[in-house]
Amino acid sequence: MPARILTNAELEKLVETSDAWITTRTGIKERRIAAEDEFTSDLAAKAALKAMANGGVTAEQVDLIIVATVTPDMLFPSTACLVQEKIGARRAAAFDLEAACSGFIYGLEVGQQFIMSRTYDTVLVIGAEKLSSIVDWTDRNTCVLFGDGAGAAILQSRAKAHGLLTACMGADGSKGSLLCVPGGGSRCPATADSVARRLHYLRMEGKETFKNAVQAMYAAAREALRRCALDISQITCVIPHQANRRIIEAVGERLEVKPEQLFVNLERYGNTSAASVAIALDEAVAAGRFKRGDLILLIVFGAGFTWGAAVIEW
Ligand SMILES: CC(C)(COP(=O)(O)OP(=O)(O)OC[C@H]1O[C@@H](n2cnc3c(N)ncnc32)[C@H](O)[C@@H]1OP(=O)(O)O)[C@@H](O)C(=O)NCCC(=O)NCCS
């Protein structure tokens, strides 16, 4: 996580909002903001090196780097290539994956396919964002929600069948305009006019996004559990995308998740998009929320719309 903390009290000075409104509507108290000279690839490389140290994996061993992000350092080269250089993984192939807040689970599923097909042995999956670079700091509807950060995981083949038991993904492109950055791509390249019209900032229809998130996260979680023939009561820890406490509670209620099963850290980080569940997974491990052999359920939702869920045997 970047060092700089931006509190709700500081946001009160930027836009017409209040700590009470943000807390009751979202559960967020503070978020991290990357330094001006700290980019998505820097956050991603730090998370990657930490995961490699934890897993005892050297840079030489990494076969593939997947970076899930909507805030790449540049349109190209990919942030994954920049990370490859920063961590010295000279043998690795590298590409970015764009599935917005669902990116980490999309990345796990894609990485797993390379391992199951025996193409690669060691895949580094990173979720990393500098959302502060695309947030409109004059728009109180969105600027209170997002933050910067990165998380990483290493996938390797193992003889014993533990690890990622299933990952499912979904998308509905008809809802793309509800959460997007309209400018900067081939449809609307940067011009003085596009900048003046603030088209390079994130835009969101909050209420519609909220409703879709609850429905899609619930359905994705049910599908992942069904594929593994598991009941929610068998899951030790549920780690949902950390977008809004009310979304998490609504999904948790429908799934009949008990409060002690649920891991939430969004009060400290807000929504870090593709990094969100990766960071939460790391913190849940550090907090001793589960032990080897326990079952974990990850659930995500994001722009696209995209969604997904994964069951992991730790
Ligand atoms: C954004 C969100 C928190 C707004 O909560 P909500 O309960 O839907 O609130 P509403 O849209 O009804 O807004 C209520 C009022 O608060 C105002 N408001 C919005 N942001 C505000 C803020 N930061 N501070 C104070 N007031 C705010 C609105 O302008 C609106 O005022 P109005 O009634 O005068 O028009 C909520 O819709 C949400 O979380 N949506 C999903 C966002 C998300 O997770 N996106 C990423 C998915 S990956």
- Is there a contact between 18 and 11 (Cβ–Cβ < 8 Å)? no
**Ligand 1 close to Cβ of residue 11 (< 6 A):** no
Rounded to whole angstroms, the Cα distance separating 146 from 269 reads 8
How high is the pLDDT of residue 158? 82
Which pLDDT belongs to residue 192? 98
303 CA → ligand 1 middle, Å: 17
Residue 283, Cα to own-chain centre: how many angstroms?
Answer: 14
Q: Which atom of ligand 1 is nearest to the CA of 209?
A: 41
| d(CA 25, ligand 1 centre) in Å | 7
Per-residue pLDDT tens over the stretch 182-203: 999 999 999 999 999 999 999 9
**Helix (H) or strand (E) segment spanning residue 219:** helix 206-227
Write down the pLDDT at residue 160.
73
**pLDDT tier, 287 (very low <50, low <70, confident <90, very high otherwise):** very high
Q: Are 289 and 157 in contact (CB under 8 A)?
A: no
The CA-atom distances, in angstroms, between 186 and each of 39, 75, 118, 206 are: 23, 11, 36, 26
Contact criterion met (CB below 8 Å) for 64 and 154: no
For residue 162, what pLDDT band results from cuts at 50, 70 and 90? confident
Asked if 48 and 278 count as a contact pair (C-beta separation under 8 A), the reply is no
**Residues carrying an active site annotation:** 101, 241, 271
Ligand 1 atom with the smallest distance to the CA of 142 is 1
φ, ψ dihedrals at 237, nearest 5°:
-140, 125
Q: Tell me the best of 70, 244, 249 to mutate to test the pocket of ligand 1, counting ligand atoms within 8 Å of each CB and taking the most.
A: 244
Confidence category of residue 298, pLDDT binned at 50, 70, 90: very high
Place of tokens 């820097």: 42
For residues 289-305, average pLDDT = 97
- pTM (global) more than 0.95: yes
CB of 166 shorter than 6 A to ligand 1: no
Burial class (CB in 10 A: 0-12, 13-18, 19+), 233: exposed
Q: Whose CA is nearest to atom 4 of ligand 1?
A: 206
N- to C-terminal Cα separation, the chain = 24
Report the separation in Å between the CA atom of 154 and the middle of ligand 1, taken as the mean of its atom positions. Answer: 36
pLDDT at 161: 65
Mean per-residue pLDDT over the chain, rounded:
97
Is any atom of ligand 1 closer than 6 Å to the C-beta of 139?
Answer: no
Provide the CA 121 distance to its chain's centre, in angstroms: 24
Tokens of 71: 């805030």
Report the separation in Å between the CA atom of 270 and the middle of ligand 1, taken as the mean of its atom positions: 14
Contacts of 223 (CB under 8 A, 6+ apart): 168, 309
pLDDT, tens only, 71-122: 999 999 999 999 999 999 999 999 999 999 999 999 999 999 999 999 999 9
Q: What is the mean pLDDT of residues 14-22?
A: 97
Percent of the chain past pLDDT 70, that is, above it, reads: 100
